[in-house]
Structure 1
């Protein structure tokens, strides 16, 4: 037995359990569905393009990573369309794929055996904007009753649990780009507390004028007009990031239970950690500490890591800080590093979840996906960045890193299925 710090009740008892990934669902720029998206990533397809979801001609930033080819009616029942934002529809599609891939049917399990823990940083922005417009233009009687919950961060978890009758412990994590990894960590805690399986991961969609205004106010966006040079992680010419939409969801199971029902295990979550940066000027960022804690949680050393999926901010000082953290941990150019999010943009909570999906598939296929765009790695970023084309490699263990706006850091260690 091990112990975990409970939020309200001190130390609580927890089982030693292997957290096994048995299903993956991805809806992201470059592909709807895991196989389609992964094929796009491996060929280095850049899905960043001019915005089409709204007229962005009057804005200083006009590029984004959009999920194209997603027809709502093909993935969401008609009765749910009036009560869901686009992000919830994307999350429902990813959850359905993950559950189908895992061949997990909650109807054949005890009532409270399966929970849902998702990450979402912005809520239903487009839904909220539409209802605010109705309020001011037509009056309160024209505001949908569904506005009471469709905008909320927890709507994804709630709609997934209702749709699939998942009555186990559920929740939502709000930590921006770090959220996808933080949700996985929370799901693993639930497994240790006795839950058999958890649907987990993250998704966001903020490609509407209201969301765009928030991104512009926050800063850090690339103003480049060429999609191929807009987002250049670790490049000497990095000029900021591009926003995208989408995410990934997983079925995380008690490894023994998964094997007992004959499920195919895609990989395991071996270590998780989260840290929070001090106020600006009060100390150094703590991404390195998060990575070290995740390795310690996994019981491994830096020498055991075969590939790093970087946070890859695309901003010079942030890239420099991450590269120096990696050099401190692994030595300069000590481990292959990649940032497939360079093809999608940063997806807020969906970003680190999609990186986790890429890491699991890389471990499965023994190949490191490339970083698109970046051609000239900056001299002050001593990392072995995989660029140009996918790199075949012998992979056993991957480290996924994420930093959320506001000081969130997260790190997750994933291991190939035995």
Structure 2
């Protein structure tokens, strides 16, 4: 369906003109997209560290990434794997957009990314040096390489971008929140923003905090470890990676002849109240506010990219919110993150990129691992294979540990 004319009348519309994807099931946009449509999973037994001592042993690892070929040698000693992946994704997004940043004003392009806790793998290595050998063996780069704002900083420096810059720490909703912030800067007059999220926490220091939540899956079979919305759901599987997007003023993009994957039409974020407050969760309100911001109704939405926490209680809460807004089985729902795992600060940005590719090609990718949705949830879950329905409008949903909720509406440009 085509979005209403009123929804297209935003005088400072923000469109996405570039994608840079680094995911466990594909490096680069097209490799990732083809793997997603074909149901190729990036989940497997952990190899980046010895996970045999822990109850959870499955993750989505990025394989085949050669940082020595993709990252300048001078940056290798001062960056974590997370930051290297983010630098690569940002470079790919800018290349994909065709934007010549040198032709803009000095402050014409900014950077806003999401983070969950910083570069923990780098930090763990330096702490081991401190404990095992002494302070003289700790790298001077530890002073900034671990920092949660490091991806924003390194992308800005590497690409020579001096526009508005920031970082958002809202756990798994961060990628959507960063894109919402990027749209604000576009509306304030910045021509373009590099935005999204990339994370990498596959090391003991990143593993233990996730285990402590009790939400991770301990199923050792990668094919059964992460089954959101299934009667057999038993938690989530973590992964590394994410997506960086080039968000641009629509008029600026049109004037330079750029291709747009789609338009960021609506955004909202809420925070759940305290568990004993007696107040309802905030997810439904986030969905409704995002649609209101986009000047759309639930009937205008063609597909929902779900948060898909993977635990029975959380899946039930999300299904209740979706049913309250759209009605039972009222809209196709999908969660292609079953092929990558939940990527912390990188997951929501990757979902947005996936939604834009879905709009581009007129196909909804499946929730690959979940063979059949739990009928009690009342969802029209896309499973088994892609569904070719020609979607024009997608709603992307994310929730973060601690009560964060976010929703983003993207529409195909017409």
Give your verdict on TM over 0.5. Answer: yes
CA contact (8 A) 1:122 1:204 kept: no
**Aligned equivalents of 2:68, 2:396: Cα separation in 1:** 34
Match of 2:64 in 1: 69
**Aligned equivalents of 2:209, 2:310: Cα separation in 1:** 19
Match of 2:104 in 1: 109
TM-score, normalised by the number of residues in structure 2: 0.96
1:58 Cα offset (Å): 1.1
CA contact (8 A) 2:361 2:390 kept: no
1:257 matched to 2:252? The reply is yes
Match of 2:287 in 1: 291
Match of 2:45 in 1: 50
Match of 1:239 in 2: 234
1:379 Cα offset (Å): 2.8
**Aligned equivalents of 1:297, 1:400: Cα separation in 2:** 14
1:105 Cα offset (Å): 1.8
Match of 1:301 in 2: 297
Match of 2:365 in 1: 369
Deviations 1:333-386 (A, max 9, x none): 010000001111100111110000010000000000010211231132111000
CA contact (8 A) 1:275 1:289 kept: yes
Match of 1:60 in 2: 55
Provide the secondary structure at the position in 1 that maps to 2:224: coil
1:94 matched to 2:89? The reply is yes
**Aligned equivalents of 2:47, 2:196: Cα separation in 1:** 26
**Aligned equivalents of 2:281, 2:85: Cα separation in 1:** 33
Match of 2:144 in 1: 149
Residues 143-292 of structure 1 aligned to structure 2 (within 5 Å)? 143-282=138-277, 283-292=279-288
* Aligned counterpart for 1:118 among listed residues 107, 113, 129: 113
1:26 matched to 2:21? The reply is yes
Structure 1 residue runs of 5 or longer lacking an equivalent are: 1-14
Provide the secondary structure at the position in 2 that maps to 1:367: coil
**Aligned equivalents of 1:325, 1:217: Cα separation in 2:** 27
**Aligned equivalents of 1:175, 1:367: Cα separation in 2:** 30
TM-score, normalised by the number of residues in structure 1: 0.96
CA contact (8 A) 1:232 1:374 kept: yes
**Aligned equivalents of 1:285, 1:278: Cα separation in 2:** 6
**Aligned equivalents of 2:44, 2:146: Cα separation in 1:** 26
1:384 matched to 2:377? The reply is no
**Aligned equivalents of 2:243, 2:372: Cα separation in 1:** 30
Provide the secondary structure at the position in 1 that maps to 2:140: coil
1:104 Cα offset (Å): 1.1
**Aligned equivalents of 2:234, 2:93: Cα separation in 1:** 35
1:316 matched to 2:318? The reply is no
Match of 1:354 in 2: 350
CA contact (8 A) 1:44 1:390 kept: no
CA contact (8 A) 1:51 1:63 kept: yes
Structure 2 residue runs of 5 or longer lacking an equivalent are: 1-9
Deviations 1:103-130 (A, max 9, x none): 1121111100000000011210100000
Deviations 1:278-331 (A, max 9, x none): 011322211110000000000000000000000000000110111111111111
Deviations 1:185-225 (A, max 9, x none): 00000011110100000111100011111111122011101
CA contact (8 A) 2:372 2:383 kept: no
**Aligned equivalents of 1:233, 1:213: Cα separation in 2:** 22
Match of 1:398 in 2: 394
Match of 1:344 in 2: 340
* Aligned counterpart for 1:411 among listed residues 404, 407, 411: 407
